[in-house]
Structure 1
Amino acid sequence: MAASVDFDGDDDLLLLGFHGFGNDEHEMIRIIDALYAGTGREANYISFRGTYDRPFIGNSYWYPDGCGVAERRRECTRVGEAVVKLLRSPVYDRFRKVLIGFSQGGYLSYRMVLEHPDVFDAAVLMSPSFKGEEDAKTIEGSTWFALCYGDGDHTIPASDQRNAREVLARTGRLFHHVCPGLGHGINDEEIAALHSWLFGADRA
């Protein structure tokens, strides 16, 4: 049975968006807009831009492509600490915080929950990289997770995808969705599945 969040009818969500390698903050704004389409609600969100700009071809990333596990974790820690510090402002007290990230941003979101288990109510991980997490610690706290991959995604190795599902499933708070025919990307089916999970239209 799929785990489901209890956000239906609430307008107190704050979505925190983290884009993938080589994109920018507008990637997550488009995704958030799509998730909210047809709800009659206005999304509250902050969409962040990667900490490193790519020279010559533009846009940003959170950690260097191909870097080692230690460096990747270190960069995620730096971002996570800055985000949590930002969220300590009283202006955000009324919100339930939902991380949402694609690829690098999905992995970053996972690491933020792991290191700050009492801050985030949910985390939407879309095609997250997961290399080096074979020894992943137990995830403390009460954060709900949504994990999505396409069954044609060859950018993230199948072993890493399986490991991500196993690690998150151990929490007992995982919604897992596989999109047929989708590569390393996002499509309407995935958006519809996440929309139902977030807003309660089709809970399992």
Structure 2
Amino acid sequence: MRLRFTSDLETSPAGDDRLFVMFHGYGNDEGEMVRIIDAVYACEDGLGPDATPHAAQSSAASPASVVSPGTAPVSAAPLGATPSYLSFRGTYGRPYMGGHYWYPDGCGVEERQRECASVGEAITQLLAAPTFASRRNVLIGFSQGGYLSYRLVKAYPDLFDAAILLSPSFKGEESATLESPTRFFLAYGTEDHTIPLDDQRNARAVLEDAGHLTYRTYPGMGHAICTQEIADIRVFLRGL
């Protein structure tokens, strides 16, 4: 297996010791997640022109994840000037159409879990390097990349401080359980017809049972990312 990635690593993160480990969705590339994290860090107040932080819609046991409109948690630390990240390209390319993916569209549960495990072995070897020893690892993934991020936490429950799952696929996890201190941000659009509603509900149930979930839904949004979501991600990160 070969992974390609884009990186922006600060050797002295100036108070922001988070390292974002990022995985794009089906048919895209590593630039997708770079655009997302750059947007999260772009506005000093964490908001786009028309967005305000959500009122609490959280299932988390941790008080730090509960926020009120227009505010961040009292204990929140400011984000740094620029994010430090590793953004990976999917292991398979799409001939003729372009873009990449982590596992074949429509493949069985065992195959997708096997592909995620293979990526996990490579990623954890990389994160074991001394360069990353003092960092807090934060996963971010969209769609297939969101499911991959979840599987990494399941396989390595103590390695990641947080995981941001944006419209993740979740097929095959109906009886899953998760024991991990990792804090999760889970989000879907109410008009997301790419991920079946039963899978969305199951993702929420599994992560709620783990005990550290912040859950968001976005009216009218399909299988995509919206400005409000970017604002809510920033508020979540400020609470870490």
Q: Could you state the TM-score of these two structures normalised by the residue count of structure 2?
A: 0.78
Match of 1:178 in 2: 217
> Which residue of 125, 134, 148 maps to 2:174?
134
Distance 2:187 2:176 in 1: 19
- Greater radius of gyration (CA): 2
Q: Counterpart of 1:23 in structure 2: which amino acid?
A: N
Distance 1:101 1:109 in 2: 6
Q: 4+ residue stretches of structure 1 with deviation over 3 A?
A: none
> Which residue of 106, 119, 140 maps to 1:100?
140
Deviations 1:78-128 (Å, cap 9, x if unpaired)?
A: 001110010000100111000000000000000000001111110000000
Q: Secondary structure at the match of 1:170?
A: helix
- Please tell me whether residue 48 in structure 1 is matched to residue 91 in structure 2: no
Match of 1:169 in 2: 208
Q: Could you state the TM-score of these two structures normalised by the residue count of structure 1?
A: 0.91
**1:38 Cα shift?**
2.4
Distance 2:21 2:210 in 1: 21
> Which residue of 13, 20, 23 maps to 1:15?
20
Q: Counterpart of 2:107 in structure 1: which amino acid?
A: C
Match of 2:7 in 1: none
Q: Counterpart of 1:64 in structure 2: which amino acid?
A: P
Distance 1:83 1:140 in 2: 20
Q: Is there any run of 5+ residues in structure 2 with no aligned partner, and where?
A: 1-13, 45-79
Match of 2:56 in 1: none
- Please tell me whether residue 91 in structure 1 is matched to residue 96 in structure 2: no
**1:10 Cα shift?**
4.4
Residue-pair matches, total: 192
Distance 1:67 1:38 in 2: 39
Distance 2:172 2:179 in 1: 19
Of all paired residues, the percent bearing the same amino acid is: 59
Which structure's relative contact order is higher, taking Cα pairs within 8 Å and 6+ residues apart?
2
RMSD after superposition: 1.3
Q: Secondary structure at the match of 2:157?
A: coil
**1:147 Cα shift?**
0.1
Q: Secondary structure at the match of 1:125?
A: strand
Q: Is there any run of 5+ residues in structure 1 with no aligned partner, and where?
A: 1-8
